[in-house]
Amino acid sequence: QVRLVESGGGLVQPGGSLRLSCAASGNIFSINRMGWARQAPGNQRELVGMIASGGNTNYGNSVKGRFTISRDNAENTVYLQMNSLKPEDTAVYYCNAMVVETSGRYREIWGQGTLVTVSS
């Protein structure tokens, strides 16, 4: 019932920028944390960034200083601002969230992913 929908992926030149969005919807009481992971072809999924309800953020070492994660006022949408993109950033980016449903149940939710391709 609770779902995450990503948007904003596409083809970007090296050195360019792109912003991803992830919107959570459904019977949500609160969102404990939201973030992003990515999976490149032939690789396992890796954490990109995460933001907690209190605003604390964490980033993977490969994106520190280049990517920024933020939330909207309703705390149901997260953004991933990606700058200085490199070809190795090419991956499917998945939104992830730990939500508290209106029933009080905690659930970890994954989006279906959005493809980011960094190439000339």
User: Is 52 buried (19+), middle (13-18) or exposed (0-12) by CB count in 10 A?
Assistant: middle
Mean pLDDT along residues 88-110: 96
Provide the pLDDT for residue 73: 62
**Span between the terminal Cα atoms of the chain, in Å:** 40
Mean pLDDT along residues 49-69: 95
* Angle subtended at Cα 8 by Cα 17 and Cα 44, rounded to the nearest 5 degrees: 85
- 113: three-class secondary structure by DSSP: coil
Pairing of strands 46-52, 57-59: antiparallel
**Rounded percentage of the chain residues whose pLDDT exceeds 70:** 99
